[in-house]
Amino acid sequence: MTGKQDQQTQDPHQAQLTQTQLTQAQRTDVELLARGRQDKSRTMRELGQPETPQAAHALLLRLGLWDETRVPFPERLGVELETALLEVPAWPQEDRLDLTHLPALAIDDEGNKDPDDALSLETLPGSVRRLWVHVADVAALITPDSPLDLEARKRGSTLYLPTHTIGMLPDALVQQVGLGLGSESPALSIAIDFDADGQAESVDVHLTRLNVTRLTYAQAQTRLEDGDALLNGMWELAKASRSLRESEGAMSIDLPEVQVKVSAEGQIAISPLPKSDSRFIVQECMTLAGWASAIFADDLELALPFATQDAPHRSSPPGESMPAQWARRKTLSRTRFQPLLGPHSGMGLDAYAQATSPMRRYLDLVVHQQLRAAVLEQGALNGKDIAARVAESQMASGATRTAEREARRHWTLVAMSRQPERVYQAVVVDRRQAQATLLLPELALDVALTTPAPLGSELKVQLAGFDLAMQSVRVREVQG
């Protein structure tokens, strides 16, 4: 048996139907339904089929009119599939704090094309260490309600698909503001001063200019292991920050994550996201920048789209096993964005605002617009303005995240179908009576299976069937 043979059950109405029996008009009618461009289909109705995008997708696959490379989910969700083409203004003439004497490291995945943050660390008198989190000063070029702002708000965030990336902002703007892409980089820099005990004692925000060195996570890891003083200083601060947040109830969830990439030739690569000390440094410093931005804004009574999260709705299961991590994630409430300050329970912080990806997330851009207004002592948006932007952009970014998730799942199922005999390791992470939820770590894919195996059991499974239109997959347990 192959995955293709068991992809879906044939319908008797279509047992003899071939693509040559559909007129061009009928094919277009079915495709428009499958793409989510219309709600009804006369052709599907005449064939006795459900008038749903999934049923239309399945029919097109059965007739060979579409193949496995057709991924309709982003279009069906209404996300923007073309990069914005808008005029990019020149940099405004502004006074900037000169930080070109400080080493500034922009650490990213290999191949990253939109570097939007960098880190510096300096020692001040009295054993004070100042962590600088520099962020691309996107808001210098995108003012509230400008055409670029409205376009970014409509998109909500950058769309990352396995095949390609569609930016929230025009490529020309990214090239202009990306840190380290030019000889000198303007930035909005968040400064956090730590005392000798590693406690944060003050925060500030400046418009700066930098000389930025770009590193991959692997290169940064090598330098860290070789004893690089700058990175080791950041490592110590990051560890102290994580320890403090955990003492305040921060919840760490360590479940497998993968990156799905599809080459121009159609080759699918599914690789685990590495967990390195250099990546930990960047993640924790970005968290510190978000906390500092929220504190800075609160001190000035400045409205931001603050990120808040309620305490878990039930107690978190103990232990570090995969079932415990799976159950722990399910206790978390959804993060809310609101113009009023509030705690973020999952991060163990009394205040937080996402502030380090203004090229990729619209609400980060709004944070930057507000911070710039405060630094320049200009008029800022009020709470009502912020709430309206949250509502509009969250609808768009929610569709984007769903499109990304469904596209990753589609290509994961295609990869499995190309190796139908492959055996996967699986862990039972949840149970509901006779049915268990299995997690396939190498694919970061969860599937259902009827099995008596208890929580935490490790099984070997193999593809038993799949349906690209419904995005469903079945596995069977194998022995040996």
Q: What is the CATH number of the domain that holds 432?
A: 2.40.50.140
| Domain end point (choices 385, 410, 435) | 410
| Domain end point (choices 67, 88, 109) | 67
**Same domain as 190, residue 101:** yes
Q: CA 357, CA 363: separation in Å to the nearest integer?
A: 9
Q: What is the pTM of this model?
A: 0.92
Q: Report pLDDT for 312.
A: 83
**Residue 139: DSSP 8-state:** G
Q: Report pLDDT for 20.
A: 61
**Same domain as 383, residue 473:** no
Q: Report pLDDT for 274.
A: 85
**Same domain as 102, residue 55:** no
Lowest mean pLDDT among 21-30, 145-154, 285-294, 310-319: 310-319
**Same domain as 396, residue 374:** yes
**Same domain as 340, residue 223:** yes
76 falls within a domain: no
| Domain end point (choices 24, 50, 67) | 67
**Same domain as 197, residue 161:** yes
Considering only residues 199 and 14, tell me which one the structure prediction assigns the higher pLDDT. Answer: 199
| Number of compact structural domains in the chain | 3
Percent residues over pLDDT 90 in the chain: 85
pLDDT tens, residue by residue, 420-466: 999 999 999 999 999 999 999 999 999 999 999 999 999 999 999 99
Q: Describe the chain by its helix, strand, coil percentages, rounded to 5.
A: 35, 25, 40
Write the burial class of residue 231 (CB in 10 Å: 0-12 exposed, 13-18 middle, 19+ buried): buried
Residue 315, pLDDT above cutoff 70: yes
**Same domain as 430, residue 405:** no
Full residue range of the structural domain in which residue 405 is found: 97-410
Q: Report pLDDT for 15.
A: 45
**Same domain as 145, residue 123:** yes
| Tokens standing for residue 85 | 């083409």
What is the DSSP track for 183-245? SSEEEEEEEEEE-TTS-EEEEEEEEEEE-EEEEEHHHHHHHHHTT-HHHHHHHHHHHHHHHHH
Residue 129: in which H helix or E strand, if any?
strand 128-136
pLDDT tens, residue by residue, 162-216: 999 999 999 999 999 999 998 899 999 999 999 988 889 999 999 999 999 999 9
